[in-house]
Amino acid sequence: MLTLVLADCDMKVKPGAIHDENSQPELVHFSLMLANDSKLGEKRELKTIVHTRYGKIFRFEADVEIPEKLEDFKQLLVDTVKGNPPKGVTYETGLKLMDVLDLELGEKIVMSPGGERTNPFEFFKRSKDYVVVIGGFRKVDFISPVYEWADKSISISSNLKKTWSVAAEVIVAYRGCSLE
């Protein structure tokens, strides 16, 4: 099982609307679309936790169909915060990311350009569970203490990649890795 965590997202979800300015909901949208449309998602070996810098936690099971239009996805989030989530989505607020992650099962990984250079296709073992944290922001670094929490910090490239590209690499590497 792979638990993907989009952490410290800048996205500002209010009960009435999503604030677009510097909020970047599209970054979460892209990542969730590719996660839930992946082969790993099809096999239900994946779930995604979205954590915002403003203390909101959304959990998406792999069978949730993510709307293709950004406006519809934003409406899904707003409805969820208002207490009307679609089946397979749950929402909590007022929790620290680390309290949530401590309850998750699996080896604790943080993806970071400053981490140890690792080939994800060689690293993951399908027989193991992983909780993989990826930053859901564009600038600066994590504000949650993910480096202290993680067993390992992994870099996949000498270049700074987008959140959704790192999510895609991790999902495909975990699906294709050995069952040994």
Residues in contact with ligand SAM by the rule CB under 6 A: 111-113, 134-135, 137-141, 155-157, 159-163, 166
Integer Cα distance of 58 and 46 in angstroms: 14
Integer Cα distance of 173 and 176 in angstroms: 5
Smallest distance, ligand SAM to C-beta of residue 79, A: 27
Smallest distance, ligand SAM to C-beta of residue 36, A: 19
Which residue is associated with the tokens 């949208």? 29
- Between 38 and 153, CB nearer to ligand SAM: 153
Smallest distance, ligand SAM to C-beta of residue 16, A: 28
- Between 89 and 156, CB nearer to ligand SAM: 156
Chain residue at closest Cβ approach to ligand SAM: 135
- Between 77 and 150, CB nearer to ligand SAM: 150
Smallest distance, ligand SAM to C-beta of residue 75, A: 25
Smallest distance, ligand SAM to C-beta of residue 167, A: 8
CA distances in angstroms from 167 to 35, 50, 99, 111, 138, listed in the order given: 8, 13, 22, 9, 14
- Between 57 and 134, CB nearer to ligand SAM: 134
The region that residue 139 occupies, defined by phi over 0 for left and psi between -120 and 50 for alpha, beta otherwise, is: beta
Q: Are strands 46-52 and 56-61 parallel, antiparallel or unpaired?
A: antiparallel
- Between 13 and 170, CB nearer to ligand SAM: 170
Helix (H) or strand (E) holding 133: strand 130-135
